[in-house]
Amino acid sequence: MNRHIIFLATMALGLVPGSAHSQPRLGTIHFPTSAGPAAQREFETGVLWMHSFEYDSAAAAFRRAQALEPGFAMAYWGEAMSYTHPVWNEQDLTLARATLERLGPTPAVRRAKAPTAREQGWLQAVEILYGEGSKPRRDTLYARAMERLAEANPEDDEAKAFLSLALLGLNQGVRDVPTYIRAGAIAEEVFRRNPDHPGGAHYMIHAFDDPTHAPLGLRAARAYSTIAPGAAHAQHMTTHIFVALGMWDDLVAQNEVAAGLGDYHSWHYTIWLGYGYAQQGRFAKAGELLDRMHPLGHTGRGEGGLQMMRLHYLVNTERWEMALREPPAEGQFVTAQEQFVRGLAAFRLNRPEAGMAALEGLRALRGGRPVPAPGVNATQAVPAILLRALEAVALHAQGQPDAAVRALREATALEDAMPYEFGPPEVLKPSHELLGEILLDLGRAAEAQREFEAALALAPKRALSLRGLWHAASAAGDRETADKARSSLIAIWHNADADVPELGAVRSARP
């Protein structure tokens, strides 16, 4: 880790290097319970960690509260809640049920240990969450229970915050815009009443982290890093709004801090950080980060994380020779993304045999499965989109332009129908951007311009789409659009490496 990141991390924590350990700042909540002062402090610490999705730290705090007061029912509620991660669609039912059973063998026995009606309401909700039935059904019933709890306690910001989070998880990790907007409105109420509430800010960001709604979450994003400077996820989470608005300097700065603070999500943070460097035109910095993470690429989650960092780097720097020069390491799983990038690189380098080999590899990974219905999640849709896109690149290379365009229009339709996926694009080379480049190569500038504009609607200020829009609008005679695209590129490349392709042309072109 470089000194810059270490300095940012220690300053974010409010610590001086070499100073004695102190409790990191995580925000402010009011969650009264029947516990004594010592157990109450640990309990609220656990809730604060949980609002920032630092679930391991939350569970540890709740267990400390249990040790202080073994009969403290809400401490067991908290630990059990730490095993559900609604936005990520994760739940450890076994651990959660085991936690509740340590409090008492049955719901009735556990309920009897909660001395107030309010605490009994929280326990009743968690019993529903980990009761019988499928996860979607239990999640739905739990959200209704939280709604009743919030209505019965209208001044209780914690009930509202956990209701907002429950709504975000209702659609099993897939964005449901109307429900997300409702969750965001509830979280905003909490944030308005308590501007130091980590859950209020955090859940607003999750609710609004798509390009259409991101401006609604910008105030929360600006605040969240200062509300909970001790939580790595809080530092990263602000960038869900920044990436949706193309605010690359902010995205890079916050993920540098997050990468310095935490390790559980370090691949998540560094994937975003490398992507941000590439958008800024800081290719050398992105390469240094990739090299620094390489030794960790075969530990824990590292294999997939390193692969995605590398593939985003190759696509966004367009260093196609590297894509063919560095095959997947021995033992590394080969994904649709890997085959797509190798195929795209081969066709861009006019090596059709290597390109067709990658295309056949991608077809084999798809296994002949039919094209999924519009609107399915990324796991199902992305491999089908990448396959159709690479087939289009092959058709274009073979001199079949009309067939190539048709294939890519099918890919764009699938991508447009996907629920919005926050962050660096799951479709590594967005299909509208790729179609725009092919149309521009075919001399169909006006059509290309429309495709680059569609790409930018999904990924604002993405550098390659802006570059394509500048070329297409210039060729189509749309001077105003071309000048705006060029100005945006100059702004995001203000600190770009001198050897970034077309940097000189962008800076020297006449407005």
Claim: this prediction has a pTM higher than 0.95: no
Spans of all domains in the chain: 1-18+246-317, 27-227, 322-428, 445-511
Give residue 294's pLDDT.
Answer: 82
Going from the C-alpha of 353 to that of each of 87, 280, 336, 391, the distances in angstroms are 43, 34, 18, 14
Distance in angstroms (rounded) separating the CA atoms of residues 200 and 207 = 11
With contact defined as beta carbons under 8 Å apart, do 82 and 55 qualify? Answer: yes
Give residue 18's pLDDT.
Answer: 34
Q: Answer yes or no: CATH 1.25.40 is held by domain 27-227.
A: yes
Cβ atoms < 10 Å from Cβ of 56: 10
Give residue 327's pLDDT.
Answer: 60
Full DSSP string of 197-250:
-HHHHHHHHHHH-STTTHHHHHHHHHHHHHH-TT-HHHHHHTHHHHHHHT-HHH
For the chain, residues with pLDDT lower than 70 are 1-22, 261-265, 298-302, 326-334, 375
Instruction: Convert the pLDDT of each residue in 317-357 to its tens digit.
Output: 999 999 988 665 444 456 899 999 999 999 999 999 999 99
Give residue 300's pLDDT.
Answer: 60
Give residue 17's pLDDT.
Answer: 34
